[in-house]
A = this chain, B = another copy of it.
Amino acid sequence: MENHVLVIHCPDAKGLIARISAVVFRNNLNILAMKEFVEEETNTFFMRSELSGNLQSALLLQELRQELGKEAYIVINPKQKKDIVVLCTKEHHCLADLLTRHHFGSLHARILAVIGNYEYLQDITQRFEIPYLYISHEHKDKFQFEQELIQAILPFKPDYLVLAKFMRILSPEFVARFENKIINIHHSFLPAFIGANPYKQAYERGVKLIGATAHMVNNQLDEGPIITQQVRAVNHSMKLKEMIDAGHEVEVSVLSHALQLVLEDRVFVSGNKTIILE
């Protein structure tokens, strides 16, 4: 008998856990682990529980719905293996990591397709028998390019879009279609560097740490609720190329960790920040 996962967020109210856990108890289920957090600024309740016992999913959902009302977001036993579509451009490091994890069953997701705006990454994708869709952005305006992306994506009905170093800025309209369903990764520095070629700026400034940030995409490419961040030490003796390599290593590690959190239904978006119930 496997454990079940129950995920809820809704406006907070006194007695919420009492009411939820009473329903769970009436359904003859045991709560093995519960993480709960109330965001006081927004008066929102977030919960992730692991349950054991003989689950009758429809019944539990109905009773929780009755108890919590229409506004509540309730998911019982979210899909163990989410469906994802990966978007990429030229850089292979994040994609290759996703493909090997997928291949060996440690990704906790099914990669339905990889879409690239160049042909560079077709070969590696096909080595793992994943469909590769090449959709160039050239000679198209953003609207037309994104329409082609959407037409390519929709048939797969993915749970998440993963931008594995996809280097096109997405329009607010595109993003709105996949709200809180797009995960992006980008390099991060202290201090931040605005403008072109941030690695070159970081190199010239002699930073001692470079990092990466994985985040949900809202209406700007490198903004949006942060899921996780990591850094790595660099030093004066590293050439620009070596600093970029180090940055890629962090990006792979951060994207992999962020995906794990998202795919295990531990990430909740609230405004421009995330609640992570680990």
Contacts and interface: CB of A to CB of B under 8 A. Distances in A.
Contacts of A34: 17, 34-36
Contact of A21 (B17, B35, B226): B17
Interface in A1-57: 12, 14-18, 21-22, 24-25, 28-40, 53
Contact of A192 (B96, B190, B225): B190
Contacts of A32: 37-38, 40
Interface residues of A, number: 67
A273 interface: yes
Contact of A14 (B25, B192, B235): B25
A103 B37 CA distance: 33
Contact of A208 (B35, B97, B128, B226): B226
A208 B213 CA distance: 9
Interface stretch (A77-85, A109-117, A138-146, A199-207): A199-207
Contacts of A22: 15, 18, 22
A211 interface: yes
A189 interface: yes
Contacts of A272: 204-206
Nearest to A189: B190
B36 A16 contact: no
B229 A190 contact: yes
Interface string A195-236: 000000000111111010100000000100111111100011
A222 B32 CA distance: 31
Interface of A: 12, 14-18, 21-22, 24-25, 28-40, 53, 92-93, 96-97, 100, 103-104, 106, 124, 127-128, 188-192, 204-209, 211, 213, 222, 225-231, 235-237, 245, 253, 272-276, 278
Given A32-B37, A190-B229, 14 more contacts: A14-B29, A18-B22, A30-B38, A31-B38, A32-B40, A33-B37, A33-B237, A34-B36, A37-B236, A106-B245, A204-B272, A206-B272, A208-B228, A209-B229
Closest 6 CB pairs of A and B: A206-B273, A18-B21, A15-B25, A188-B190, A192-B192, A34-B36
9 contacts: A14-B25, A18-B24, A34-B34, A103-B124, A190-B192, A190-B213, A205-B226, A205-B273, A206-B273
